[in-house]
Structure 1
Protein backbone atom coordinates (compact mmCIF):
# COMPACT_ATOMS: atom_id res chain seq x y z
CA UNK A 1 0.00 0.00 0.00
CA UNK A 2 3.02 2.29 -0.25
CA UNK A 3 2.04 3.59 -3.70
CA UNK A 4 -1.58 4.35 -2.82
CA UNK A 5 -2.59 8.00 -2.64
CA UNK A 6 -5.06 7.30 0.17
CA UNK A 7 -4.98 5.13 3.25
CA UNK A 8 -7.22 2.25 4.23
CA UNK A 9 -8.29 4.24 7.30
CA UNK A 10 -9.42 7.16 5.11
CA UNK A 11 -11.51 4.82 2.97
CA UNK A 12 -13.12 3.05 5.91
CA UNK A 13 -13.97 6.26 7.79
CA UNK A 14 -15.28 8.20 4.79
CA UNK A 15 -18.55 6.28 4.51
CA UNK A 16 -20.12 2.89 4.07
CA UNK A 17 -17.95 0.27 2.41
CA UNK A 18 -19.69 -1.88 -0.20
CA UNK A 19 -18.16 -5.31 -0.79
CA UNK A 20 -17.70 -6.19 -4.46
CA UNK A 21 -17.49 -9.70 -5.85
CA UNK A 22 -15.89 -10.13 -9.27
CA UNK A 23 -17.29 -13.06 -11.24
CA UNK A 24 -15.07 -13.92 -14.18
CA UNK A 25 -17.71 -15.95 -15.99
CA UNK A 26 -21.45 -16.09 -15.35
CA UNK A 27 -21.55 -19.55 -16.89
CA UNK A 28 -19.10 -21.19 -14.49
CA UNK A 29 -19.00 -19.40 -11.12
CA UNK A 30 -17.27 -20.99 -8.12
CA UNK A 31 -19.30 -22.57 -5.33
CA UNK A 32 -18.95 -19.57 -3.01
CA UNK A 33 -19.83 -17.19 -5.83
CA UNK A 34 -23.03 -19.15 -6.48
CA UNK A 35 -23.93 -18.94 -2.78
CA UNK A 36 -23.30 -15.20 -2.64
CA UNK A 37 -25.34 -14.59 -5.79
CA UNK A 38 -28.21 -16.73 -4.50
CA UNK A 39 -28.16 -14.93 -1.15
CA UNK A 40 -28.10 -11.51 -2.81
CA UNK A 41 -30.93 -12.48 -5.15
CA UNK A 42 -33.03 -13.81 -2.26
CA UNK A 43 -32.39 -10.64 -0.24
CA UNK A 44 -33.32 -8.19 -3.01
CA UNK A 45 -36.21 -10.25 -4.38
Structure 2
Protein backbone atom coordinates (compact mmCIF):
# COMPACT_ATOMS: atom_id res chain seq x y z
CA UNK A 1 0.00 0.00 0.00
CA UNK A 2 1.32 3.42 -0.94
CA UNK A 3 2.15 6.01 1.70
CA UNK A 4 -0.09 8.59 -0.01
CA UNK A 5 -3.07 6.25 0.15
CA UNK A 6 -2.47 5.55 3.85
CA UNK A 7 -2.23 9.28 4.59
CA UNK A 8 -5.41 9.96 2.59
CA UNK A 9 -7.34 7.25 4.45
CA UNK A 10 -6.08 8.57 7.80
CA UNK A 11 -7.18 12.07 6.82
CA UNK A 12 -10.63 10.77 5.83
CA UNK A 13 -11.05 8.93 9.13
CA UNK A 14 -10.03 12.04 11.09
CA UNK A 15 -12.41 14.20 9.06
CA UNK A 16 -15.29 11.75 9.58
CA UNK A 17 -14.80 11.83 13.36
CA UNK A 18 -14.68 15.64 13.25
CA UNK A 19 -17.77 15.80 11.06
CA UNK A 20 -19.71 13.46 13.34
CA UNK A 21 -18.87 15.79 16.23
CA UNK A 22 -20.14 18.73 14.17
CA UNK A 23 -23.26 16.88 12.92
CA UNK A 24 -22.18 17.06 9.27
CA UNK A 25 -22.69 13.39 8.47
CA UNK A 26 -23.81 13.78 4.84
CA UNK A 27 -20.94 16.12 4.02
CA UNK A 28 -18.48 13.80 5.74
CA UNK A 29 -19.77 10.80 3.80
CA UNK A 30 -19.52 12.65 0.47
CA UNK A 31 -16.02 13.96 1.17
CA UNK A 32 -14.87 10.51 2.31
CA UNK A 33 -16.07 8.90 -0.93
CA UNK A 34 -14.43 11.59 -3.06
CA UNK A 35 -11.10 11.38 -1.23
CA UNK A 36 -11.01 7.58 -1.36
CA UNK A 37 -11.77 7.58 -5.11
CA UNK A 38 -9.07 10.20 -5.72
CA UNK A 39 -6.58 8.21 -3.63
CA UNK A 40 -7.30 4.99 -5.52
CA UNK A 41 -7.07 6.69 -8.93
CA UNK A 42 -3.84 8.42 -7.87
CA UNK A 43 -2.31 5.13 -6.75
CA UNK A 44 -3.17 3.56 -10.13
CA UNK A 45 -2.03 6.50 -12.26
CA UNK A 46 1.21 6.96 -10.35
CA UNK A 47 4.02 4.86 -11.86
User: Please, what TM-score do these two structures have when normalized by structure 1?
Assistant: 0.39
* Greater RCO, CA 8 A, separation 6+: 2
- Report the structure, 1 or 2, having the larger helix content: 2
Larger Rg: 1
